[in-house]
Amino acid sequence: MPRVFSGIQPSGDLHIGNWLGAVRNWVTMQEQHECLFCIVDLHAITGGYDVASLRRRTLEMAAGLVAAGIDPERAVLFVQSHVPEHSELMWLLNSVTPVGDLERMTQYKDKSAKLESIPAGLLNYPVLMAADILLYRADLVPVGEDQLQHLELARGIARKWNAEFGGGTDLFPEPQGLLGAARRIIGLDGQAKMSKSLGNTIGLVESPEAIWEKLRPAVTDPARKTKRDPGTPEVCNLYALHRHFSPPATVAEVAENCRGARWGCLDCKRVLAERMAATLAPIRERAADLAAAPERLETILADGAATARRMAQETMREVRDRMGFLAPTGQPAARGATA
C-alpha cells in the first residue's frame, strides 16, 4: 500500500478550507493507503503564537480530525512534538538545503514581509515539512495548492540527500503531491486564501447560528450593489462555496436567481448557511462527544505517537549511519550498517 503523510497546524480552529482542501481527502485515502496524519505543533510556533492556548488548540485539532472521520484504527494520528525525530531530521536536512531556495518560497515572502524581525523558523519551515514527510518515507502527500511549492522543495531535498548520502540506494522516495477537488478555498473576505491566521474562516464545528453570523457579512460579487443588480455567480466566493455544500439543483437555482436579480445576496447566503450547517452537523456532534471523553483522545494520540516513533526511529538509524555519525554504544546499528 502506498504510504501517505500529511499535516495540519494547530494554529487556530480547523476550518472548512482545511476540510475541503485536505482533510476530506485524508478520510477517503485511509481506505486504501497506509496513512499518517500529524498535528504539526512545531510548525505552529514559527510565526508568533499564544503559549497559553497551544495545548488546547492541539487537542481541539485532534478532536476535529477524528470527528471529521480520521479513524485511528486505520490511520496513525499523532502530534509532531511527541516524535522528536522530526526536529533531528530537520537539522540534518539543513545540510543539503540551499538558503536561496528557502528565501524563494512564496509563503515565506508573504509572511516575513509583515514582520520587523524574521524568526529563522519561518525560513526553515519547509525543511521541517520535508523532514515530516521523509521521516516516514511517504510516497504521497495530499495538500492544498498553497503547499505545492513546499512539497516541490521537499522533493529537491530528498533528491539531494539521496545523491549525497544514498550510497547508490535511495533512502527517501520523492514524495508526490495530491491535490483534491478544492485546491484553494477563498476566505469570507472574498480575497485571501481562507486561513486560520487571517480570521476569514468558518470553523468545521461551528454552530448553525455562528455559521450564519459569519456568512451574513461575507463579501459577494462586488458589482452587485443592490438586490436589483443582476449578479455574476462565477465571481462570487459564496457561489464557489455553494458548489461544495449544496446539491447540483440548488447550485443551479442559486446561479439563475442571482443572474436574474430575483434573489439578493442574503437570500443566497441563507440557503448556503442551511446547507453548510446540515453538512457539518454530524462532524459537530462527534466533536462534542469527543470533548466529553478527553481520555479517549489522549489514548488515540499516545498510540499514534508510539507507532510513528517506531517508524521514525528506524529511518533515523539509517540516516545517522549513512551520514557517518558514530552510534552510541549499545544501540543497534541500522540494517546494512557499515562498521
- Sketch the per residue contact string, 18 through 37, with ligand AQP: x for CB under 6 A, - otherwise: x--xx---------------
Q: Scanning residues 129 to 168, which ones bind ligand AQP (CB under 6 A)?
A: 143-144, 146-147
C-alpha to C-alpha distances, 200 to 1, 107, 172, 281, 291, nearest whole angstrom: 37, 17, 37, 21, 25
Terminal CA-CA length for the chain: 33
Binding segment for ligand AQP (CB under 6 A), chosen from 50-58, 167-175, 187-195, 303-311, is: 187-195
Q: How far is the CB of 74 from ligand AQP (least distance, A)?
A: 19
Of 81, 94, 149, 195, which one interacts with ligand AQP (CB under 6 A)?
A: 195
Determine if 185 is a binding residue for ligand AQP (CB under 6 A). Answer: yes
Burial of 234 (0-12, 13-18, 19+ CB in 10 A): exposed
264 counts as binding ligand AQP under rule CB under 6 A? no
Catalytic residue among 109, 160, 196, 269: 196
- Looking at beta carbons only, is 194 or 305 nearer to ligand AQP? 194
Does the protein bind ligand AQP through residue 17 (CB under 6 A)?
yes
Nearer CB in complex with ligand AQP: 7/64: 7
174 three-class SS: coil
The DSSP-derived string for 266-335 is HHHHHHHHHHHHHHHHHHHHHHHHHHT-HHHHHHHHHHHHHHHHHHHHHHHHHHHHHTTPPPPTTSPPPT
For ligand AQP, give the closer residue by CB, 12 or 231.
Answer: 12
CB distance 105 to 149 below 8 Å: yes
Residues noted as catalytic: 111, 193, 196
Residues that bind ligand AQP (CB under 6 A): 7-9, 11-12, 17-18, 21-22, 143-144, 146-147, 182, 184-185, 193-197
